[in-house]
Amino acid sequence: MVEPSPNTPALWGSLVVKPDADAHKYRRGHCLVVSGPEFRTGASRLAAVAAMNSGTGAVTIAGTKAALRVHAAHLTAIMLEPVTGPGQLASWIAARRPSAAVIGPAAGVGHATLGLLGVLQAAAVPVVIDADALTSLGAQPGLLAGRIQPASPMVLTPHAGEFARLFRDLDQDTGFRSLSDARRLSKIEQTRAAARIVRGVVVYKGRETVIADEEGRAAVNTNAGPELAVAGSGDVLAGIIGSHLAMGMPPFEAAASAVWLHATIGADIGLALTADRLAARIEPIFARKDIQRG
């Protein structure tokens, strides 16, 4: 097994590419964020603002008209699209072809969210699955692996509680089953097994976040501090990952670079951090002078 890497720009910096002189907004990526209902719009708005500030050329929030009226009172540069169910979402995706999507932040738990996730998967849109979308999947054992399709690149972003609900039985992975009891306690090995089960990238959040993919690559992030332990911080991270996917980064590197950027800017803000301050301070990874770009 390949040893895990520290999550630093040396791991993914060569894949960070600055927009060229001929770039237009859609060539820079179009990220879709699925909204929650009228009185639960804040989380998706944090994700959308973070996606826009991360350098994506265009961001759209899709949701009910009631929810979009709330968003409209707060947003200017982010587009709004009325969507009331899977059929409308599928039609919009076919027409507009977003380059990535984020689903889960306050989206609601249950069949409605799973239906929208199914549309994204069927359309092979690279997707960040977070928060309520993870809870919706975790409430139905056995659904996760069956719903995820290899043609649809995706990143799951569970915290410890969500991880435990999603991956109740890591022994279904033969690699994990073969490990010693001591190795099974490793967060790195647990994340690797989860990534193999869903055939994608898993970001197991926490003080030392672990990012792993189905090939066994793993990176450990160590630059995060207690300032990120606030409501909405994870929604901001989901938006950054969505932006990096939309700009064309491979899923593992998109996730790892987003985790590093999220923690770096969080440390810059310090213990006065709130999620809205964090989203506002996010900047494009390609604009940072401390990144060796490709």
| Rg of the chain over all Cα atoms, to the nearest angstrom | 18
What pLDDT sits at residue 291? Answer: 84
What pLDDT sits at residue 151? Answer: 66
- The CATH class of 5-287 is alpha beta
**List of the chain residues with pLDDT < 70:** 1, 21, 141-151, 292-294
What pLDDT sits at residue 143? Answer: 61
Q: Taking a C-beta distance cutoff of 8 angstroms, is the pair 99, 27 a contact? A: no
Integer Cα distance of 120 and 124 in angstroms: 6
Host H or E run for residue 235: helix 233-246
Region of residue 118 (phi > 0: left; psi between -120 and 50: alpha; otherwise: beta):
alpha
